[in-house]
Chain A
Amino acid sequence: MTSLRNLLIAVVLISGAALGYLTYDSTAQLEQRTIPLTDEVVNGKQVWQDNNCINCHTILGNGAYFAPDLTKIAVKRDPEWLTRFFKSPGDLWPGTVMSKIRLNGEDAENLTAFLTWVKDIDTNGWPPDPPGGQDSGQPQDGSESTGKAIFDSECSVCHQFDGSGGNAGPDLTNIGRDRSKEWLKSFLRDPQEVKPGTVMGNPGLDSEEINAVTEYLTSLK
């Protein structure tokens, strides 16, 4: 019994020391794995906590599973859109569950700065690219099927197409009839320029992706 007790104490000490050393080393590597903090980012993190975002969303994959993971949200949505969204989510996303959140201008900007900082954390490649999705390494030939994959992951959240999708934005089933391909391409490149004041953010696609999604959207006409 005494020897078991001593073994237990040894295990605690050895594992504890190992964890201590690894903690020291992981902290030292923080500088290379995250970009420098600014006051805005730190204040934005406080806003993040004060508004309990973690109890609906995950970030770095930890949190609640009720709403989308926000680790890379600043890659998907442009900063202006995010800031406007945090000031009044319901205006940009009619019917959103988040509508009770209404931040003042400064808090909203800091929060955007925080999420923008988060997107650059070196997460060892998480989240991985979906092997069955648009970045699967298959040639991006601008075809309809690539376009469908892009639409499902980037646009279906807000738009209906051919009977499925969200309804924050207009149903796009007949968009091919209403708008020309050229119009769609320039709209997707910069929504604000084509439709000043529009509530749709810049989707941040490159021109091949824009071509593919445009082909897909106009395929039903």
Chain B
Amino acid sequence: MHYRSQRVAYPYFLLSIILFALQVAFGLLIGAQFIWPGILSGLLPFDVGREIHLNTMVFWLLLGLMGATYYLVPEEAQRELYSVKIARVQFWLLALTGVAAVVGFLFGLTEGREYIEAPRVLDWLIVAGALMFLYNIGMTVIKGKGWTATLGILIGGLTGLSVLYLFGMKFFENLVLDQYYWWWVIHLWVEGTWEMIAAAILAFMLIRITGVSRKRVEKWLYIEAILVLATGILGIGHHYYWIGTPEYWLAIGGFFSMLEPIPLVLMVWDTLREYKSRTIKHQNEVALYWIIGGVVLHFIGAGVLGVVQTLPVVNQWTHGTQMTASHGHLAFFGAFAMLVIAAIYYMLPDMAGRHDYKQGLGKWAFWTMTSGMVAMTAVLLGAGIVQVYLERILGMAFVTMKNQYMNTWMLWRFITGLVFAAGVGMLVVDFFRLPAYVSHRFNGTGLKRKQEVKSL
């Protein structure tokens, strides 16, 4: 059963894809500056490019997750969205806030804390947007036909995400406390609340794309959510080894974070099992590619590359090196970027009521991006090992290490980044070719069905 109001998801997906392209463009720029520090360094110094790379990433992923939520909630709650108008006002509010933040970065306005650099005024606008979103979703469910496990875990995760953001807004006088609460945002987001949201959206799609019973899928959703939170909340300790916090965190963080891969393994196992026992042969193969590719790279990027550096005995050598960057890239890409892309590929055609679109380019985009990213993170891992050896074991100065031993590695990062970016180009082209409703203009009277894109 479909609902007209599900179509409010479209502008969220559209902006999400545009910002993704922007994120990758800035990634290439700062990747180039690693090798040729002079490039655009007057106009767009590394730090500015990097904060735009990170903030557009957070923003496009959140927009994508919100779009997917708006698509999912009416279908789960079995009624139209509480208010299409709120969803649209919220969209414009967030879009303008995002533009303002990026323009501010270009002019040097920053809070100077990684990932959450947006200045205070904009923080409040983001909070306003989040409240509108939660209210809209909450009212839809309350007025709908009751809660499902998917809805509960999704909305729990979204509420947690919003509350945690508040801890990133304050100016802390003490650097130790600053980093302590900064990790509440970053770690408890990606290894707690975002993980819940992603698992719920994944369950929603799995039920529909494989035809496996809701009961079975949702049982595993619960188990995964329980394990994610049981290991992830105290697993935050793996960031409290060296920042001035007490020594007992070495034991707590090491223990709980070692267990964090368990739910991620389960997610792979469970998804493959549902796929094998599917009762329908779904036409939308590209969506399936992204779903399955996503759970696998989620496990490798977050689980494997995270866990190898999570014990204090290892982390004291690898902390804050290219190994961290390797893990950060594959984890964010596998866990969240691929999920948002999967949601777009599933939901846009679904919105238009047709999954029989031409899938060639989508598959090319999948393979190009995936191999580009895997290669890039492999290069970063190699670079990280060399860095750890020279800088942390032999004691060579960072600058000497970087200038004399990193250039070849960074060149390969750039080249693999170009491969990845080519895949992103295909994705963007394909996005505009996907069947979807074109009439998502905001004309104040609701979403009029003007014309459906014909098949291509």
Contact = CB atoms under 8 A, between A and B. Distances in A.
Interface of A: 1, 4-5, 7-8, 11-12, 15-16, 18-19, 22-23, 25-27, 29-30, 33-34, 37, 42, 45-46, 48-56, 58-69, 97, 100, 114, 117-118, 121-135, 149, 152-154, 156-157, 164-166
A164 B320 contact: no
B233 A19 contact: yes
Contact of B176 (A5, A18, A33): A33
Contact of A149 (B317, B395, B398): B395
Given A18-B234, A61-B320, A118-B175, A133 B398 contact: no
A126 B241 contact: yes
Contacts of A126: 241-242, 316, 319
Interface in B162-190: 171, 173-180, 182
A26 B180 contact: yes
A127 B152 CA distance: 43
Given A26-B246, A66-B46, A166 B399 contact: yes
Given A52-B48, A56-B46, A131 B324 contact: no
Interface in B330-381: none
Closest 8 CB pairs of A and B: A133-B395, A49-B112, A130-B395, A55-B47, A61-B320, A126-B242, A15-B233, A68-B398
Contacts of B131: none
Given A15-B230, A45-B175, A100-B42, A54 B112 contact: yes
A55 B111 CA distance: 11
Contact of B394 (A64, A121, A125, A130): A130
Contacts of A56: 46-47, 50
A5 B316 contact: no
Interface in B85-135: 108, 110-114, 117
A11 B229 contact: yes
A63 B400 contact: no
B321 interface: yes
B175 A121 contact: yes
B110 A152 contact: no
B123 to A, nearest CB: 14
B251 to A, nearest CB: 12
Interface string B386-401: 0000011111111110
A93 B226 CA distance: 53
B173 A45 contact: yes
A30 B176 contact: yes
Nearest to A26: B245
Nearest to A45: B175
A164 B401 CA distance: 11
Nearest to B406: A65
A7 B393 CA distance: 45
A163 to B, nearest CB: 11
B112 A132 contact: no
Nearest to B394: A132
Interface in B37-55: 37, 41-42, 45-48, 50-51
A211 B223 CA distance: 63
A67 B37 CA distance: 12
Contacts, number: 209
A1 B47 contact: no
Given A5-B149, A130-B393, A133-B394, A123 B230 contact: no
A25 B246 contact: yes
Contacts of B153: 8
B9 to A, nearest CB: 27
Contacts of A64: 46-47, 50, 114
Contacts of B223: 4
A50 B34 CA distance: 23
B325 interface: yes
B387 to A, nearest CB: 8
B146 to A, nearest CB: 13
B394 A11 contact: no
A31 B149 CA distance: 45
5 contacts: A4-B226, A11-B226, A22-B249, A55-B48, A58-B320
Given A4-B222, A48-B112, A49-B113, A27 B177 contact: yes
A152 B230 contact: no
Nearest to A46: B171
B394 A34 contact: no
B298 to A, nearest CB: 20
Nearest to A51: B112
A176 B111 CA distance: 48
Contacts of A42: 173
Nearest to B220: A4
Contact of B236 (A5, A19, A100): A19
Interface string B245-260: 1111110100000000
Contacts of A60: 175, 179, 242-244
Contact of B322 (A4, A55, A65): A65
Contacts of B270: none
A25 B249 CA distance: 11
A7 B399 contact: no
Nearest to B172: A45
B46 A55 contact: yes
Contact of A34 (B45, B176, B246, B393): B176
Contact of A152 (B34, B50, B51, B395): B395
Nearest to B318: A61
B451 interface: no
B240 interface: yes
B112 A53 contact: yes
A153 B453 CA distance: 63
Contacts of A67: 398-399
B61 interface: no
Contacts of B404: 164
A125 B245 CA distance: 12
A34 B268 CA distance: 44
B244 A33 contact: yes
